[in-house]
Amino acid sequence: MLDQGAPPHHDATATAPSPGLAARLVRRKPVERLVAEGGQGEGGSLRRSLGLWQLTMISIGATLGTGIFVVLGEAVPKAGPAVTLSFVIAGLTALFSALSYAELAGTIPVAGSSYSYAYATMGELVAWICGWCLVLEYGVSVAAVAVGWGEYLNELLDGTIGVTLPAVLSAPPGDGGIFNLPALIVVLLAMTFLLGGARESARANTIMVVVKIAALVLFCAIGVQGFRSGNYEHFMPLGMAGVSAAGATLFFSYIGFDAASTAGEEAKNAQRDLPRAIMLSLIIVTVLYVLVAAVAVGAKPWRNFTDSEASLAQIMTDVTGQSFWGTLLAFCAVVAIASVVLTVLYGQTRVLFAMSRDGLVPKVFSKVHPKTGAPRANTVIVSLFCGVLAAAIPLGQLADATSIGTLFAFALVNVAVVVLRRTRPEMPRTFRVPLSPVLPALGFGFCVWMMGSLSTVTWVVFGVWMAAGLVFYFVYGHRRSRLATPDTSEVRTHQK
């Protein structure tokens, strides 16, 4: 005889009212579910093979070199000698956000980085916006750094065999060329390493990081010999507005420290090692950035930083009067910038992996090759997209677009750490932001301030990008989200 007071088994979910649009937009993914799904993909799983050393090298690899080797020449004309102060301001902004990243990475050690943190704390729509910003941050920065790689490649070719690539093949439209072939080549090289798996990519990156640190130490040792105190007269010629504008551009140089958080599902001990790797890498990078910038401006009048992205190699040549040192630095820069492309491209693929697993982007991005443990199709698609972007768009536009996406995502992370403290205070945390919520609030405020320093054109590009992302979300993502329909295992649990 049936129990008249109990609903039929097959109607357990059918009779549940469908949530409205507003409820679907703010649905959150439980932290426990995020962690439980760690490493799982379509057809295979990511492999946990990275320790503290490799994670720190990933963060340094994604960060160190981008601003110094490439964007310094773009930032100095905006701030003058005060570019050193711009680096400090950008570093402080990164530090506040890094503290929040460290806490969340130790609490929610997953591949999605700030996208996943937002999903657990502020709901699906905010998570999508954050993830879309990360696509801009990582994808466009790969292209921007690849452009600078081409500049140093030309310096290296000129110093070794006395030839350079013609502008038509080494510069994008608008900069005197048609197609930036070197930029495309370095992205494809990075793709080749990534297809071999995380462990192999980490080994290659570690070697390149050692080379780039040695190169910057060498630059400081030689560049200081050409130091002229007169180059620091009129320290702030364009005022605080110039310092702020340069700092907003240079924030692009700090995006790498969060790359370790995208490796949460491939770390051996993610909760312990991710916070340490994030903080350690940021400290090392900031110290080197400020030292190199101070030496560079002291050795070369700030008004002369307008002719090439390969400014450090030129300073070495000018100070010594010998092309050998500039050529050596150009070689180190070619290696160093390649590591930035490698590690940032890695971060991009892992963010899309997490978004795909949640159903917000196509499943092809979460397919894992069973032998290598790498998302192969994801890697190829992202690499081709970034390579074409690098070959077709000038560096300055790419750097500013990356900065605004980064700042927006970091602002959300500072909010997320406060929200999770209030909603899940009992969760174990291997690292806690000191003086919370004061420091996260400062991190949020700095990010908003620096976003306001970016140009109107950058804001327009950002607005168009976000509009396109929202259209994609409402047409595709929110309908296919895995949270739209509860897992059958969860339904059975509630029925019991």
User: For the segment 341-400, what is each residue's pLDDT rounded down to a tens digit?
Assistant: 888 888 889 899 999 999 999 999 999 888 888 889 999 999 998 888 878 776 566 667
What is the spatial distance between Cα 346 and Cα 222, in angstroms, rounded to a whole number?
34
Amino acid at 334: V
Do 45 and 373 form a contact (C-beta atoms < 8 A)?
A: yes
Least confident of 3-12, 243-252, 383-392, 472-481: 3-12
User: Can you name the residues that pair with 20 across neighbouring β-strands?
Assistant: none
Least confident of 173-182, 221-230, 260-269, 303-312: 303-312
Burial of 132 (0-12, 13-18, 19+ CB in 10 A): buried
Average of per-residue pLDDT across 131-155: 79
Backbone angles phi, psi at 322, to 5 degrees: -125, 135
The percent of residues above 70 in pLDDT, for the chain, comes to: 89
For 308, the token pair is: 């090439």
Confidence of residue 119 (pLDDT cuts 50, 70, 90): very high
What is the spatial distance between Cα 69 and Cα 215, in angstroms, rounded to a whole number?
10
Question: What is the average pLDDT value for the chain, to the nearest integer?
Answer: 82
pLDDT digits (tens, 9 = 90+) for 398-445: 667 777 888 888 899 999 999 999 999 988 888 999 998 999 999 999
What is the spatial distance between Cα 319 and Cα 147, in angstroms, rounded to a whole number?
26
Average of per-residue pLDDT across 170-183: 75
- Report helix, strand or coil for 348: helix
pLDDT digits (tens, 9 = 90+) for 221-236: 998 988 888 888 888 9
